[in-house]
Structure 1
Amino acid sequence: MKSLQIILIILCLQLGVQKTYAQNFKLDSQKSTLFWTGKAAFSSYSLKGTVAPKKGTLYITDKAIATLNIIIDMKSLDHENSDLKNHLKNEDFFEVKKYPEATFFLDNITNIEEGKAILRGKLTIKEKTNTEDIPVKIEQTKSRIILKFNHTIDRTKYGVNHNSPSIFKRMKENAIADEFILEGTLVFVK
C-alpha cells in the first residue's frame, strides 16, 4: 500500500513539473525583426527591406507549441528607397491604408523536435488567407522563446499581382518574381 502511495505522489509531482513548462509568452516587438526580399523574375536583381511585427502571443510547453498568433504592421513596410517604399504600400502591392495588418495564426498543436518545428497556420494578407508551412528554429529558456525562420511566400496567392510573370504572361523586362522571402527572428518574453 505504501509503494502505491509513493508511486501516486511521484506521478502527481511529475504532472506538476510538466505543467510548469507550459507557459504564455508575449511578443517583444522591439527585439523582433522581419526582413523581406523581393527579386526580379528574369534576372538576379533583388531588394531587401523590413516590416515590423506588431504583437503576438505564444503558448508553449517543453515539447510543443500549442498556440501562436502574430500581427504584422503592414504600415511599417520599409525600404531605403522612398519611391519603392511608397509603391509597395499603394494599390499595386499591399494597399496598407486599406489593409493595415497581416496575421498568422497556428492551426494545430505543433511538436518541437531537437529545437525545430514546422508551423502550419493561416497567413492573411489583404484579407486573403492561405495555409503556410513555416519551418522554424526554436531557442527556449524559462523567460524567453526565440523563433527564427526563412520562408518563401507566393505573393499572388494574396492578391499582390503587380508585374507578375504568371499573371501577365508577356511581361519580361519589368517582371517581379511571384515569390518573396520573409525572414524573421521573433522574440517572446513572459
Structure 2
Amino acid sequence: MNPYHFYCMNNKLSINNLTLFITFLAFSCRATAKEENKINSTASPLSLHAGNEKYMMIDTKQSVLTWKGQNLSGLNSQTGYIYISKGELMIENGQLTGGTVEVDMNTIEDKNHGRDNKLVNHLKDPDFFEVEKFPYATIAITSVVPVNDKNQNITGNLTIKGITHPVTFPVKFEVRNGIVKADSKLVIDRTQWDVRYKSSKFYDKLANQTMSDSIEFHMKIIARK
C-alpha cells in the first residue's frame, strides 16, 4: 500500500476516534450534570427548614396556657390563664423534636375576674407559686415519641418554684405553611412542686375545704419561622 494512503487512513481513524471520544465525553458530562441537578433538587431543603432542622419561635401573643384547679369533691373549680413569655420549638423533617417554653407566673389571671383579685393574689403567695421568688416556670422537652401523623407523646422537665420533675403528656401537633400549632393537656400533682395548700397529704380535718392535688394545664402554642 502507498505509504501516503496508509498515513491518510490512520489519520482518518484517529480523527474519527477523537470525534467519538469527544462525543462520549460531552454526553457523559451532560448526563452527570443532569444527575447532579436531580440530586440537588431532591436534597433541597423543605420550605419549612433551614437544612433539615429549624427553630421556630413561639408567638407569645397567640399562645396561652389555661389552668384549672378544684376542691377534692370536684364541685368547686377555678379556671384561669397564664401567658408564655418566650420559647422555641425545634422541627426536624417536619416533626417536633425538642424545644423550651417559659411561662411568666406574674401573668396569672382568673377567667372571670382578671389578674387583680383575692384569688390571683393568693396564687402568687408562698401558699401556692411564690411568684415574687420564682417568677418563671419552664418546660424543656427531652424526648418526643410519635403516635400517628398528628399526635405525639412528649416527655420534658417541668420546673416550678425552682423544683424540676419529668412529665409526660400527649400533644396534637401540626405544621402548615411555616406555622406550627401544638395543643396539649398536662395534669400534675402540685405537691411534687411544693404547692401544699389545703392538700390532704399535709393537712388533717379539712373536710370539704380540701383541695385536689391535681392541677390541669391546657397549652395552646403557635410558633413561626
TM-score (norm. length: structure 2): 0.76
**Cα separation, partners in 2 of 1:10 and 1:111, compared to 1, 3 Å:** farther
In the alignment, residue 44 of structure 1 is paired with which amino acid?
L
In the alignment, residue 31 of structure 1 is paired with which amino acid?
Q
Answer whether contact 1:64 1:110 (CA < 8 A) is retained. Answer: no
Structure-2 separation of matches of 1:185 and 1:84 = 24
- The CA deviation at 1:61 is 2.5
State whether structure 2 residue 150 is matched by structure 1 residue 115.
yes
Structure-1 separation of matches of 2:32 and 2:172 = 42
Instruction: Determine which structure has the larger strand proportion and give its number.
Output: 1
Deviates more, 1:153-162 or 1:168-177: 168-177
Deviates more, 1:170-179 or 1:104-113: 104-113
**Cα separation, partners in 2 of 1:189 and 1:170, compared to 1, 3 Å:** same
Deviates more, 1:160-169 or 1:25-34: 160-169
State whether structure 2 residue 101 is matched by structure 1 residue 70.
yes
Answer whether contact 1:56 1:71 (CA < 8 A) is retained. Answer: yes
Structure 2: tracts of 5 or more residues without a match: 1-27
Structure-2 residue corresponding to 1:38: 69
Secondary structure, in 3 states, of the residue corresponding to 1:95?
coil
State whether structure 2 residue 57 is matched by structure 1 residue 26.
yes
Structure-1 separation of matches of 2:34 and 2:143 = 36
**Cα separation, partners in 2 of 1:7 and 1:155, compared to 1, 3 Å:** farther
Structure-2 residue corresponding to 1:183: 218
State whether structure 2 residue 11 is matched by structure 1 residue 16.
no
**Cα separation, partners in 2 of 1:10 and 1:89, compared to 1, 3 Å:** same
Give the alignment partner of residue 197 of structure 2, picking from 154, 162, 165: 162
- The CA deviation at 1:20 is 5.4
Structure-2 residue corresponding to 1:49: 80
Answer whether contact 1:27 1:55 (CA < 8 A) is retained. Answer: yes
Structure-1 residue corresponding to 2:176: 141
Deviates more, 1:78-87 or 1:114-123: 78-87
Identity in percent: 24
TM-score (norm. length: structure 1): 0.88
Structure-1 residue corresponding to 2:161: 126
Higher relative contact order (CA 8 A, sep 6+): 1
Answer whether contact 2:94 2:175 (CA < 8 A) is retained. Answer: no
Q: CA RMSD in A?
A: 2.4
Instruction: Determine which structure has the larger helix proportion and give its number.
Output: 2
In the alignment, residue 64 of structure 1 is paired with which amino acid?
Q
Structure 1: tracts of 5 or more residues without a match: none
Structure-1 separation of matches of 2:178 and 2:47 = 15
- The CA deviation at 1:165 is 1.4
**Cα separation, partners in 2 of 1:23 and 1:178, compared to 1, 3 Å:** same
In the alignment, residue 180 of structure 2 is paired with which amino acid?
I
Secondary structure, in 3 states, of the residue corresponding to 1:184?
strand
Answer whether contact 1:65 1:112 (CA < 8 A) is retained. Answer: no
- The CA deviation at 1:24 is 1.8
Structure-1 residue corresponding to 2:3: none
- The CA deviation at 1:169 is 4.2
In the alignment, residue 98 of structure 1 is paired with which amino acid?
K
Structure-1 separation of matches of 2:201 and 2:34 = 67
- How many residues end up aligned between the 2 structures? 190
